[in-house]
């Protein structure tokens, strides 16, 4: 069974849910035996040079986006692309609908929580601060005499 | 401050505990009569009370009811749907703050009426708990309250009464509610309004498509519904009441398995005690003088006169026995009169032997110091930031950074001029106002430097000084032990400190080092730095040579700033969010993914990636 494969590239962070994607070519491909939709190897009718700059692909029939791991030329005009599913991009909408306990965040944080990633210079800051607005003991001692009778 | 849950009572329903706090303005508590005149409560069960309008003005503002609408007994006013919703939402939104105590709508409307056709008779309200908060309570109205309404509005479809009550704390705490306000009660003391209880009832009902409301103020002691609460709120008949203030209580709140305390984070202010209102000089048998050097010389000349005739007289008179103490103090004493000639055992001490009588007790205010934050993060607080204070006449003492960071610190001494002993109070507060300052630490010391007036007296002084020196030496040894312990690591530190005789403290230090290492890895190695004692005891004679004013010593971690660290690794969050509400770098601590038509392998990979950090 053949299916359409969109071959292209992305420059986004691998861990980003939303990836920019530029399609290079749309081809017809077939799934090679003993592979699966998570880690597929797809036979494409094209030369390896045509898709040598690709690192990302989309297969609508599988409903998944993939990182291209390798491109191998079999014969002239055919090549095999091995890939791994990009679960973050594929399921981004469903992922975003979930709720979780957030350990670290770029924009929403609480800096009063202990954070072992803070780096501290060993040159400790040592401050001394005086009191103001009050008195102090005097240089001149004061003589107190206590008597009975 | 005792917080006790207020039970919710519904007829034919089991007793349940409900509790939450909302903040309100002081006006609710510090209410006074509007005209400032005497308060007359005449037949209070039947008429509203104008002066209490100010009491509930804050509430009116919150629920968007104008004060002008208020205080007409049984006078109905149209309430639009939107205003009703505001009212319900205002009260309801507070429930949402503590969902574990939230009423289900089913419970709210299950009150059983004795009067046919009355659909709802449940009351939700708030009871005052302390100066800044009132506590929610629920009660039930009696049917005859509604009877008049039912006759006038037989088609009513909705009926709810909100009681906003001001109750004395004792009533909430112990459930005793036997207060009876006499008819023709008269008082000129606004404080009485705190004792005598007031209640605002806001009654809302629906007649066809129109909503009506009615506001009534009565004294709660005549408000039977609140009395019903007190009657039912009997600890004997409710054995499972959970007293959050009793650490020994074995009663478990059946509706609260834990994780939600009573929300009490308030503190009672501890003021510096006023000086004793009487001292040794009051009887006249003891006199305290402040002497100048010249006056002292004249006095000593009198005591040790070379005149042999006077010496013979003094052998019989022995005036030196009248001298209780002669010492230096490092501060001027507060005079209680002008200079006068000293008399000792009833005999004038001679020409020039004058002195200024002074009080025995006095206060010295050393002023204020603000300890700010540097980074506005957790490193500004203990155990990462360490704070010490130097106190004249005492030395250096450790303070808990959590007590003083981002707060004002005030030092005040209460001194005894007879002995030179004093108590140092360290007050801490968010502002310098005395009403915000509260005593957090109390130390004692002595600043009297004895002045020898005879060989015997000097001998005592020398022994005292030697004892002080020995104590300081012992302190130094212990300090060395601490330093060794703190600079070592793990068990080695503990044993080193144990050898120095500071076992308990050293074990604490070692434990603290281990704990910090566990908590923060190797990043904050500066935390393992030794705590060095910066000063020994500075008291007595040595206080004359020590620094004469208090000061603070703050040791702060020197945190390195990374540019855009939050965009690369994020900062600690520790909250629950829907991921669609977030953007940018995110690490998920715990998540249970649902709604994905993905393979198990894919779900596991998503969870692993989310925990490792993704860009949302």
Q: Do A96 and B595 make contact, defined as CB atoms within 8 angstroms? A: no
- Is B574's pLDDT higher than 60? yes
- Other beta carbons within 10 angstroms of residue A30's beta carbon come to 13
Could you tell me if B534 and B356 are in contact, meaning their C-beta atoms sit under 8 angstroms apart? Answer: no
Closest residue, chain A, to B549 (C-alpha): A136
Closest residue, chain A, to B349 (C-alpha): A147
**Tokens, residue B307:** 């005149």
**Tokens, residue B234:** 């009997």
Check residue A9 and give its pLDDT: 94
C-alpha to C-alpha distance for B109 and B20, rounded to whole angstroms: 20
Q: Which of B46-60, B90-104, B320-334, B366-380 has the lowest mean pLDDT?
A: B90-104
The larger pLDDT score, comparing residue B252 to residue B567, is at B567
β-bridge mates for residue B199, sequence order: B165, B218
- Is B139's pLDDT higher than 80? no
Backbone phi, psi, residue B414, to 5°: -105, 115
* Cβ-Cβ contacts under 8 Å, B333 against chain A: 142, 144
pLDDT confidence tier of residue B91, bands split at 50, 70 and 90:
very low
- Is B290's pLDDT higher than 70? yes
Q: Does the CA dihedral B293-B295-B299-B304 come out positive or negative?
A: positive
Smallest CA–CA distance, residue B376 to chain A, in Å, is: 7
Q: Do B556 and A124 make contact, defined as CB atoms within 8 angstroms? A: yes
pLDDT tens digits, B120-138: 333 333 343 333 333 333 3
Query: What is the pLDDT of chain B when averaged over all its residues?
Result: 59
- Is B493's pLDDT higher than 50? no
Could you tell me if B385 and B569 are in contact, meaning their C-beta atoms sit under 8 angstroms apart? Answer: no
Which residues, including other chains, have CB under 8 Å from residue B357's CB and lie 6 or more apart?
B281, B287, B288, B289, B335, B336, B337, B340
From A16, A104, A120, residue closest to B526, measured CB to CB:
A120
Q: Which of A139-148, B144-153, B528-537 has the highest mean pLDDT?
A: A139-148
B contact test, residue of A106, A113, A138 with most B CBs within 10 A: A106
| Cis-peptide, bond into residue B383, ω within 30° of zero | yes
Q: Which of A132-141, B531-540, B556-565 has the lowest mean pLDDT?
A: B531-540
Average pLDDT, integer, range A33-55: 88
Smallest CA–CA distance, residue A148 to chain B, in Å, is: 5
Q: DSSP string of B521-578?
A: TTTTGGGGS----------GGGGGTS-SS-EEEEEEEEEPP-TTHHHHT-EEEEEEEE
Check residue B412 and give its pLDDT: 94
Closest residue, chain A, to B547 (C-alpha): A137
Pairs of CB atoms within 8 A across A/B: 353
Q: Do B573 and A115 make contact, defined as CB atoms within 8 angstroms? A: no
C-alpha to C-alpha distance for B120 and B160, rounded to whole angstroms: 7
Check residue B588 and give its pLDDT: 94
Could you tell me if B295 and B355 are in contact, meaning their C-beta atoms sit under 8 angstroms apart? Answer: yes
- Is B373's pLDDT higher than 60? yes
Q: Do A95 and B379 make contact, defined as CB atoms within 8 angstroms? A: no
Average pLDDT, integer, range B328-335: 91
Closest residue, chain B, to A133 (C-alpha): B367
Could you tell me if B494 and B485 are in contact, meaning their C-beta atoms sit under 8 angstroms apart? Answer: yes
Nearest to B301 by CA among B291, B287, B290: B291
A contact test, residue of B571, B580, B596 with most A CBs within 10 A: B571
pLDDT confidence tier of residue B533, bands split at 50, 70 and 90:
low
pLDDT confidence tier of residue B402, bands split at 50, 70 and 90:
very high
Nearest to A118 by CA among B136, B586, B556, B10: B556
**Tokens, residue A76:** 């002239």
Q: Does the CA dihedral B19-B24-B26-B29 come out positive or negative?
A: negative
pLDDT confidence tier of residue B554, bands split at 50, 70 and 90:
very high
pLDDT tens digits, B406-452: 899 999 999 999 989 999 999 999 888 888 899 999 999 998 888 87
The larger pLDDT score, comparing residue B186 to residue B574, is at B574
Nearest to B158 by CA among B121, B126, B114: B121
Average pLDDT, integer, range B461-486: 44
Helical residues (DSSP H) of B136-273, grouped into ranges: 143-152, 169-174, 192-195, 224-232
C-alpha to C-alpha distance for B444 and B394, rounded to whole angstroms: 7
End-to-end CA distance of chain A: 120
pLDDT confidence tier of residue B560, bands split at 50, 70 and 90:
confident
C-alpha to C-alpha distance for B390 and B372, rounded to whole angstroms: 18
Q: Helices H, strands E: what count in chain B?
A: 15, 28
- Is B475's pLDDT higher than 70? no
Q: Do B551 and A129 make contact, defined as CB atoms within 8 angstroms? A: yes
Q: Do A149 and B296 make contact, defined as CB atoms within 8 angstroms? A: no
Smallest CA–CA distance, residue A60 to chain B, in Å, is: 15
Q: DSSP string of B248-280?
A: T-----TT--SS-----------PPPPPPS--G
Q: Do B593 and A101 make contact, defined as CB atoms within 8 angstroms? A: no
Which residues, including other chains, have CB under 8 Å from residue B184's CB and lie 6 or more apart?
B41, B42, B43
Check residue B344 and give its pLDDT: 82
- Is B542's pLDDT higher than 90? no
- Is B243's pLDDT higher than 50? no
Could you tell me if B261 and B1 are in contact, meaning their C-beta atoms sit under 8 angstroms apart? Answer: no
Check residue B455 and give its pLDDT: 52
C-alpha to C-alpha distance for B63 and B82, rounded to whole angstroms: 11
Q: Do B367 and A103 make contact, defined as CB atoms within 8 angstroms? A: no
- Is B233's pLDDT higher than 50? no
Q: What angle do CA A118, B505, B428 make, to 5 degrees?
A: 65
From A101, A127, A148, residue closest to B324, measured CB to CB:
A148
Check residue B302 and give its pLDDT: 83
Nearest to B551 by CA among A35, A127, A33, A91: A127
- Is B396's pLDDT higher than 50? yes
pLDDT confidence tier of residue B375, bands split at 50, 70 and 90:
confident
Could you tell me if B254 and B12 are in contact, meaning their C-beta atoms sit under 8 angstroms apart? Answer: no
From A88, A132, A142, residue closest to B609, measured CB to CB:
A88
Closest residue, chain A, to B615 (C-alpha): A16
Could you tell me if B91 and B108 are in contact, meaning their C-beta atoms sit under 8 angstroms apart? Answer: no
Show contacts of B508-513: CB within 8 Å, 24+ apart.
B509/B482, B509/B485, B510/B485, B512/B383, B513/B486, B513/B489
pLDDT confidence tier of residue A145, bands split at 50, 70 and 90:
very high
pLDDT confidence tier of residue A70, bands split at 50, 70 and 90:
very high
pLDDT tens digits, A104-118: 999 888 888 888 888
Check residue B439 and give its pLDDT: 94
B contact test, residue of A65, A109, A118 with most B CBs within 10 A: A118
Smallest CA–CA distance, residue A16 to chain B, in Å, is: 4
B contact test, residue of A95, A112, A122, A139 with most B CBs within 10 A: A95
Check residue B299 and give its pLDDT: 87
Q: Parallel, antiparallel, or unpaired for β B6-8 and B16-18?
A: antiparallel
Q: Do A125 and B374 make contact, defined as CB atoms within 8 angstroms? A: yes
Closest residue, chain B, to A143 (C-alpha): B328
* Percent of chain A residues topping a pLDDT of 70: 99
Instruction: Look at the block and give the residue holding tokens 């004997």.
Output: B236
Q: What angle do CA B224, B226, B232 make, to 5 degrees?
A: 100
Average pLDDT, integer, range B25-43: 29
Q: Which of B110-114, B180-184, B586-590 has the lowest mean pLDDT?
A: B110-114
* Cβ-Cβ contacts under 8 Å, A145 against chain B: 288-291, 296, 299, 323, 325-326, 342, 355
Tell me if residue A126 falls in helix, strand or coil: strand
Check residue B535 and give its pLDDT: 62
């Amino acid at each position: 069974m053949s299916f359409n494969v969109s071959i292209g590239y992305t420059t986004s962070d691998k861990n980003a849910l939303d990836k920019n994607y530029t399609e290079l070519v749309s081809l017809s491909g077939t799934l090679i035996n003993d592979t699966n939709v998570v880690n597929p190897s797809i036979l494409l009718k094209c030369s390896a040079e045509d898709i040598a700059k690709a690192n990302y692909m989309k297969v609508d029939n599988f409903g998944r986006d993939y990182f291209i791991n390798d491109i191998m030329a079999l014969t002239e005009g055919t090549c095999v692309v091995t890939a791994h599913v990009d679960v973050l991009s594929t399921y981004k909408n469903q992922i975003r609908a979930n709720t979780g306990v957030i350990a670290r965040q770029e924009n929403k944080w609480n800096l009063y929580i202990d954070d072992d990633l803070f780096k501290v210079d060993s040159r400790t800051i040592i401050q001394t601060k005086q009191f103001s607005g009050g008195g102090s003991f005097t240089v001149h001692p004061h003589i107190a005499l206590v008597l009975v009778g | 401050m005792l917080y006790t849950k207020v039970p919710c009572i519904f007829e034919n329903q089991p007793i349940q505990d409900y509790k939450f706090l909302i903040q309100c303005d002081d006006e609710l508590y510090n209410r006074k009569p509007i005209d400032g005149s005497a308060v007359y409560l005449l037949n209070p069960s039947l008429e509203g009370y104008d002066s209490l309008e100010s009491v509930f003005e804050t509430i009116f503002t919150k629920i968007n009811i104008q004060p002008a609408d208020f205080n007409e007994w049984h006078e109905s006013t149209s309430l639009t749907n939107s205003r009703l919703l505001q009212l319900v939402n205002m009260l309801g939104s507070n429930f949402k703050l503590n969902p574990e105590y939230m009423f289900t709508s089913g419970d709210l409307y299950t009150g059983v009426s004795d009067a046919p056709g009355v659909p709802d008779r449940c009351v939700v309200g708030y009871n005052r708990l302390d100066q800044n908060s009132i506590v929610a309570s629920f009660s039930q109205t009696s049917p005859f309250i509604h009877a008049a309404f039912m006759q006038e509005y037989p088609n009513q479809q909705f009926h709810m009464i909100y009681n906003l009550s001001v109750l004395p704390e004792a009533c909430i705490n112990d459930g005793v509610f036997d207060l009876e306000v006499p008819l023709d009660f008269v008082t000129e003391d606004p404080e009485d309004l705190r004792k005598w209880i007031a209640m605002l009832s806001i009654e809302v009902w629906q007649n066809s498509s129109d909503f009506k409301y009615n506001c009534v103020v009565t004294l709660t002691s005549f408000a039977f519904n609140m009395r019903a609460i007190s009657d039912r709120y009997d600890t004997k008949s409710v054995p499972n009441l959970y007293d959050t203030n009793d650490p020994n209580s074995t009663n478990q709140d059946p509706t609260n398995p834990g994780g939600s305390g009573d929300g009490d984070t308030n503190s009672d202010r501890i003021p510096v005690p006023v000086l004793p209102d009487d001292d040794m000089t009051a009887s006249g048998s003891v006199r305290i003088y402040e002497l100048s050097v010249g006056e002292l010389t004249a006095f000593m000349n009198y005591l040790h006169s070379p005149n042999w005739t006077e010496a013979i007289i003094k052998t019989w008179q022995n005036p030196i026995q009248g001298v209780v103490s002669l010492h230096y103090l490092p501060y001027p004493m507060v005079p209680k009169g002008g200079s006068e000639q000293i008399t000792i055992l009833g005999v004038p001490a001679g020409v020039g032997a004058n002195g200024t009588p002074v009080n025995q007790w006095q206060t010295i205010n050393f002023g204020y110091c603000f300890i700010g934050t540097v980074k506005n993060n957790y490193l500004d607080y203990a155990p990462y930031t360490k704070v010490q204070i130097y106190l004249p006449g005492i030395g250096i003492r450790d303070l808990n950074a959590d007590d003083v960071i981002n707060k004002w610190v005030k030092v005040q001494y209460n001194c005894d001029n007879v002995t030179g002993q004093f108590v140092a109070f360290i007050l801490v507060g968010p502002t310098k106002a005395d009403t915000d300052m509260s005593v957090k630490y109390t130390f004692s010391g002595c600043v009297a430097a004895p002045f020898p007036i005879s060989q015997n007296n000097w001998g005592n002084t020398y022994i005292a000084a030697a004892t002080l020196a020995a104590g300081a030496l012992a302190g130094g040894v212990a300090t060395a032990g601490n330093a060794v312990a703190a600079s070592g690591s793990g068990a080695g530190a503990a044993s080193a400190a144990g050898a120095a005789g500071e076992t308990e403290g050293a074990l604490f230090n070692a434990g603290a080092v281990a704990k910090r290492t566990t908590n923060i890895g190797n990043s904050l190695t500066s935390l393992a730095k030794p705590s060095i004692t910066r000063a020994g005891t500075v008291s007595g004679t040595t206080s004359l040579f020590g620094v004469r004013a208090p000061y603070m010593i703050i040791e702060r971690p020197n945190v390195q700033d990374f540019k855009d660290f939050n965009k690369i690794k994020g900062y600690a969050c520790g909250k629950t969010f829907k991921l669609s509400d977030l953007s940018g770098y995110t690490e998920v601590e715990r998540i249970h993914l649902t709604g994905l038509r993905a393979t198990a392998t894919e779900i596991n990979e998503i969870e692993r990636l989310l925990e490792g950090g993704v860009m949302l």
